[in-house]
Amino acid sequence: MDNTEFQKLLNAELPLIVEETGLKLVLSYDGFEAKRNYSSWRYQWKNTSDFITLERPSFEYYRLLFFPRETPVYFNNKTSRMWGAIKRFFNRGYTDSLPFVYGLSSLTSPQLAQLLNHWRERALQQNG
C-alpha cells in the first residue's frame, strides 16, 4: 500500500468496517472487533496496548499452520486474566494476537500495527 492510501486510513472517520471473504475488522471509538468465519473477538481500546509485529522464529512450526499468510500483530489485553500467562508464552510476551490483516490485503502487518496504535490513541483522546 502506498503512503497516500495509508494516510487516508490513518485519518479515516470511525467507525471503519473492513471485510474480506470470511474476515471482518470493525474499528470504533470504543474498541475493535475482529471476526473470522463464525468466531468473533471484541476488545476495548482502554484495555489494549502495544500493537507490534515480531518476526517468527523458525522453531514456531505451529504458527505456520495457523498464520500462513502474514506475521501476526501482537498486543496486550488487560482483561486476559486466566489464560494470560499461557498466551504470553505462546505469543512471545503478549496476551493476544491478530493473525490476519482483515481485508486490508494491500496492508502489511507492521502497517496494521501502526494503524491500530494510531486509532487507539485517537479514540482514547476523544473519549477522554
- Is the torsion defined by CA of 48, 30, 1, 41 positive or negative? positive
C-alpha to C-alpha distance for 63 and 48, rounded to whole angstroms:
22
pLDDT of residue 79: 80
pTM: 0.77
The string of pLDDT tens digits covering residues 93-125 is: 777 888 766 656 677 788 889 989 998 998 888
Q: Could you give the angle at the alpha carbon of 59 between the alpha carbons of 71 and 80, nearest 5°?
A: 60
Across the chain, mean pLDDT equals 77
CB atoms within 10 A of CB 23: 18
C-alpha to C-alpha distance for 76 and 126, rounded to whole angstroms:
21
